[in-house]
């Protein structure tokens, strides 16, 4: 039987509709819509695209957006001053600080300066601590989207062996915690893990968040496992694409037309062994923004009680 695909785009659209309904209800009850303040420092092209997409998504569900674009020469004190003013604003419900930041700014110091109640990315130590205790209201968007997808596709989590490949603060660690709270038996793998293929192949659910394109080949995957691929690697040469997808593949045609192709952490040949998997692109990616919208609504609901 062919593996089923988790359609992240369709699921994200469903969640956006739910958020739009929640925004309307909040406005009817409290007389105000949620507001998300987006802060971008510097001129990184990809960051500008990400922020633009997030603002557009806000508009589509009725969330107000308040954008702040700062030059790459911005001093750390000036950024912290802006964040302080957004923390104090009665109009702002959520604050999004787009990463990466210029070298002169301490990333952790900037993230820590965001009010935990407005931390819609779920990265503040306060919210991370609450997540450890399964009490967090605002959780990192990508891990939250992964759990949402697994639940909506009715993947059993309790008692399942879940293997998380990657231990980043943004994805791997919070994802492992969320899975534990769902009563899964969780193993976290990383670059120092011995016998990595054997350990990963024991997973009923494999969640790849390494950032290494096509790294997990079929020998990492047990027959019938569920694969969640969080990784995104941009391939920039024809040889890279041929080595992964083969000669004459559609991906090679796409590269020649668009000059780039994105691949996940899981090799395409490994998908055939799974029962259910997330494609790259079109899997976890769309859910990240959907969860950002839901977190913003959640923050507004809590703050405006």
Which entry of 119, 121, 204, 265 is annotated as an active-site residue? 121
Residue 224 in any domain: the answer is: yes
- Is the predicted pLDDT of residue 170 greater than 90, yes or no? yes
Question: Any catalytic annotation for residue 239?
Answer: no
Say how many domains are in the chain: 2
Segment 177-189 shows an average pLDDT of: 98
- In this prediction, residue 1 has a pLDDT band, given cuts at 50, 70 and 90, of low
Global confidence as pTM:
0.95
Which entry of 98, 117, 160, 271 is annotated as an active-site residue? 98
Question: Any catalytic annotation for residue 192?
Answer: no
Q: How far apart are CA 215 and CA 232, in angstroms?
A: 11
Do 268 and 145 have their domain in common? yes
Do 221 and 102 have their domain in common? no
Residue 291 in any domain: the answer is: no
Domain region containing 104: 31-115
Quick one: DSSP state of residue 238? H
Which entry of 54, 64, 173, 273 is annotated as an active-site residue? 54
Mean pLDDT of the chain: 96
% the chain with pLDDT above 90: 90
**Chain segment 192-235, per-residue pLDDT in tens:** 999 999 999 999 999 999 999 999 999 999 999 999 999 999 99
Question: Any catalytic annotation for residue 121?
Answer: yes
Domain with residue 151: its CATH number is 3.40.50.720
């Amino acid at each position: 039987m062919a593996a089923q695909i988790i359609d992240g785009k369709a699921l994200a659209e469903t969640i956006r509709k739910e958020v739009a309904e929640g925004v309307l209800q909040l406005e009817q009850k409290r007389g105000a819509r949620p507001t998300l303040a987006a802060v971008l420092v510097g001129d990184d092209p990809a960051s500008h695209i990400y922020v633009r997409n997030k603002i557009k998504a806000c508009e589509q569900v009725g969330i107000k957006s308040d954008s702040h674009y700062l030059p790459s020469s911005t001093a750390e004190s000036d950024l912290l001053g802006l964040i302080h003013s957004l923390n104090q604003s009665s109009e702002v419900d959520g604050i999004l600080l787009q990463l990466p930041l210029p070298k002169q700014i301490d990333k952790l110091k900037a993230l820590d300066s965001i009010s935990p109640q407005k931390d819609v990315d779920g990265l503040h130590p306060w919210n991370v601590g609450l997540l450890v205790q399964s009490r967090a209201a605002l959780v990192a968007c990508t891990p939250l989207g992964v759990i949402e997808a697994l639940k909506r596709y009715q993947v059993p989590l309790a008692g399942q062996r879940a293997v998380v490949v990657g231990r980043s603060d943004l994805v791997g660690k919070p994802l492992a915690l969320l899975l534990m709270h769902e009563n899964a038996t969780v193993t976290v793998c990383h670059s120092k893990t011995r016998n990595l293929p054997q350990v990963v192949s024991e997973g009923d659910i494999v969640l790849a968040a390494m950032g290494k394109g096509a790294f997990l080949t079929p020998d990492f995957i047990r027959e019938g496992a569920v694969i969640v691929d969080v990784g995104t690697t941009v391939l920039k040469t024809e040889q890279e694409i041929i080595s992964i997808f083969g000669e004459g593949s559609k991906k090679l045609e796409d590269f020649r037309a668009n000059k780039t192709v994105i691949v996940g952490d899981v090799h395409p040949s490994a998908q055939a062994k799974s029962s259910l998997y997330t494609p790259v692109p079109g899997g976890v990616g769309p859910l990240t923004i959907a969860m950002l919208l839901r977190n913003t609504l959640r923050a507004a609901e809590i703050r405006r009680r």
